[in-house]
Amino acid sequence: MTKKVHILGNGDSNSLMPHNVREAEDGKVLICNIPPFAIPKAYACCMVDFKMMKNLTEGVVNLDSYKWVLGNRPKIWMDKKPTFYIQHSWHIREFYTDVPKYCGKPAAQAATNFNCGHMAAHYAARRHQPDEIHLYGFDSIMDHNMRSFTDTVLPSDRNNTNNYKLLDVWRPIWKNIFKEFKDTKFVLHHFHANSKVDLGNNVEIRVSNKKK
């Protein structure tokens, strides 16, 4: 049997995740930040930035229904906020603080460049070692589309200048993740097959005609 991990991103194509996958009937499901729809049986919610930690601490968002996998900056936040850490320690599956060298320098900037989707994919490949990793809602790989469901709840600066800068940083990291885990098959689910990233032989695009 093929071992799979499914990752729900925040882009428009997250709607392509089938209902049996949403119910975790086809392998583990990871979500990124605030999911666009409920995934009650998600293995974990992955988070990497201070903004999510700040808003969780202040009660602006609530992700208590999920277990958490937390990256480099959430670990820093927890170390500085021991009361919050104690209150929410039962949510935490683990801290995943590895940031690949190809994310840039210095280390703090690399952690900034390594976004939630990157971390979820890297974590899935390294920790769970599946045969296949299925990606839904990762539109920045396929289009100049930075729309994010999380941003509708916690707004980010998404002017065109910032978008181009982020795309220039994020896309090469995806290329390197696919290269690093060359024995893992990555399956991108999208509305078309015209990737903006140079995909390796271990990456497949599955096109759906389902409307946005």
- Global pTM reads 0.92
Query: Average pLDDT for residues 79-83, to the nearest whole number?
Result: 96
Q: How many CB atoms lie within 10 A of CB 100?
A: 16
39-66 confidence digits (pLDDT tens) = 999 999 999 999 999 999 999 999 999 9
pLDDT given at position 198: 85
Is pLDDT larger for residue 157 or for residue 13? 13
Q: How many CB atoms lie within 10 A of CB 198?
A: 12
101-138 confidence digits (pLDDT tens) = 999 999 999 999 999 999 999 999 999 999 999 999 99
The owner of tokens 């119910």 is 23
Is pLDDT larger for residue 85 or for residue 140? 85
Decide if pLDDT at 167 tops 90: no
Q: Are 104 and 169 in contact (CB under 8 A)?
A: yes
Q: Is the C-alpha dihedral spanning 151, 111, 61, 10 positive or negative? A: positive
Give me the long-range contacts of 35-42 (CB less than 8 A, separation at least 24). Answer: 35/8, 35/149, 36/8, 36/10, 36/137, 36/149, 38/65, 39/8, 40/65, 42/8, 42/66, 42/67
Decide if pLDDT at 34 tops 70: yes
User: How many whole angstroms separate alpha carbon 159 and alpha carbon 31?
Assistant: 25
Comparing C-alpha atoms, which of 33, 10, 9, 4 is closest to residue 131?
Answer: 4
Query: Average pLDDT for residues 130-155, to the nearest whole number?
Result: 78
Q: How confident is the model at residue 164 (pLDDT cuts 50, 70, 90)?
A: very low
